[in-house]
Amino acid sequence: MEYTFSSGAKKFIIALIVAGIAFLGLGLLLDGHHTYIDKDLSLGQRIWTDLLGNGFFFFGISLGALFFLALQYAAEAAYTIVYKRVLEAVTKWLPIGLGIIVIVILAGMAHQHHIYHWMDPKVYQEFLPDGKTVNPDYDHIIAHKSNYFNFGDGDGYVHLIRVVAFGLIFVYFMSKFRKNSLLEDEEGGTRIHFKNITSAAIFLVLFGYGSSILAWDLLMSTDVHWFSTLYGWYVFAGFWLSSIITTIVLIVYLQSTGKMAWVKKGHLHDLSKWMFALSFLWTYLWFAQFMLIWYADIPEEVAPYVARIQDYKVLFFGMMLINFVLPMVGLMDADAKKKKGLITVIGCIIFITHWIDVQLLIIPSSMKGEGQIGLVEFGFFFIFLGAFLLVTLKALAGRPLLVKNHPYLEESKNLYH
Partner 1 sequence: MHHVEADIREPLILGNKTYHQITEDVCAPVEGKANKMWWTVFTLAALLATWGLGCIFYTVGVGIGVWGLNKTVDWAWDITNFVWWVGIGHAGTLISAVLLLFRQRWRMAINRSAEAMTIFAVIMAALFPLLHMGRIWMAYWVFPLPNQFGSLWVNFNSPLLWDVFAISTYFSVSLVFWYIGLIPDFATIRDRAVKPAAKKAYSILAFGWTGSAKHWNRFEEVSLVLAGLATPLVFSVHSIVSMDFATSVIPGWHTTIFPPYFVAGAVFSGFAMVCTLMLVMRKVLHLEDYILVKHIEYMNIIIMLTGSMVGVAYLSELFISWYSGVEYEGYAFMNRATGWYWWSYASMMTCNVVSPQLMWVKKWRRNLVLTFIMSIIVNIGMWFERFVIIVTSIHRDYVPSSWNLFHPTIVDMGLFLGTLGIFFVLYLLYARVFPVLALNEVKTILRTTGEAQLKQLRAGEHITVAEGHGKGH
Measure CA of the first residue to CA of the last residue in the chain; give whole Å: 20
Binds partner 1 by CB under 8 A, chosen from 25, 99, 121, 407: 407
Q: Which of 73, 87, 65 is nearest to 241 (CA)?
A: 65
Name the residue type at position 197: I
Binds partner 1 by CB under 8 A, chosen from 145, 176, 195, 338: 145
Residues 294-313 that bind partner 1 (CB under 8 A): 295-296, 298, 300
Find out whether 58 and 93 touch, Cβ atoms under 8 Å: yes
- Those residues whose C-beta lies under 8 Å from the C-beta of residue 365, and which sit 6 or more positions away, are 115, 222, 223, 304, 307
Measured distance CA(354)–CA(375) in Å, rounded: 18
Measured distance CA(360)–CA(309) in Å, rounded: 10
Region binding partner 1 by CB under 8 A among candidate stretches 62-70, 112-120, 161-169, 289-297: 289-297
293 contributes a contact to partner 1 by CB under 8 A: yes
317 contributes a contact to partner 1 by CB under 8 A: no
Measured distance CA(166)–CA(128) in Å, rounded: 37
| 366: region left, alpha or beta (phi > 0 left; psi from -120 to 50 alpha) | alpha
DSSP state of 2: -
- The residue among 56 and 207 lying less far from partner 1, judged by its C-beta, is 207
Binds partner 1 by CB under 8 A, chosen from 233, 312, 384, 388: 233
Residues 176-205 that bind partner 1 (CB under 8 A): 190, 193, 201, 205
333 contributes a contact to partner 1 by CB under 8 A: no
Please give the backbone phi and psi of residue 127, each rounded to the nearest 5 degrees, phi first: -120, 155
3-state secondary structure of 134: strand
264 contributes a contact to partner 1 by CB under 8 A: no
**Cα–Cα distances in angstroms (integers) from residue 349 to residues 253, 309, 343, in the given order:** 16, 22, 10
Measured distance CA(332)–CA(267) in Å, rounded: 17
Residues 269-288 that bind partner 1 (CB under 8 A): 273, 280, 284-285, 288
**Smallest gap from residue 143 Cβ to partner 1 (A):** 9
52 contributes a contact to partner 1 by CB under 8 A: no
261 contributes a contact to partner 1 by CB under 8 A: no
Binds partner 1 by CB under 8 A, chosen from 12, 138, 227, 305: 227
**Cα–Cα distances in angstroms (integers) from residue 68 to residues 226, 239, 405, in the given order:** 30, 11, 20
- The residue among 26 and 265 lying less far from partner 1, judged by its C-beta, is 265
- The residue among 2 and 76 lying less far from partner 1, judged by its C-beta, is 76
**Smallest gap from residue 266 Cβ to partner 1 (A):** 11
Cross-strand bridge partners of residue 127: 134
Region binding partner 1 by CB under 8 A among candidate stretches 56-64, 153-161, 313-321, 402-410: 402-410
214 contributes a contact to partner 1 by CB under 8 A: no
**Smallest gap from residue 288 Cβ to partner 1 (A):** 4
- Those residues whose C-beta lies under 8 Å from the C-beta of residue 319, and which sit 6 or more positions away, are 353, 354, 356, 357, 360
Region binding partner 1 by CB under 8 A among candidate stretches 91-99, 106-114, 208-216, 361-369: 208-216
b/e per residue 82-102 (b: at least 16 CB within 10 A): bbbbbbbbbbbbbbbbbebbe
132 contributes a contact to partner 1 by CB under 8 A: no
- The residue among 96 and 307 lying less far from partner 1, judged by its C-beta, is 307
Q: What share of the chain is helix, strand, coil (3-state, %, to 5)?
A: 75, 0, 25
Region binding partner 1 by CB under 8 A among candidate stretches 154-162, 249-257, 292-300, 340-348: 292-300
- The residue among 76 and 137 lying less far from partner 1, judged by its C-beta, is 76
144 contributes a contact to partner 1 by CB under 8 A: yes
What residues make contact with partner 1 under the rule CB under 8 A?
Answer: 76, 78, 140-141, 144-145, 148, 190, 193, 201, 205, 208-209, 212, 227-233, 273, 280, 284-285, 288-289, 291-293, 295-296, 298, 300, 407-408, 410-411, 413-414, 417
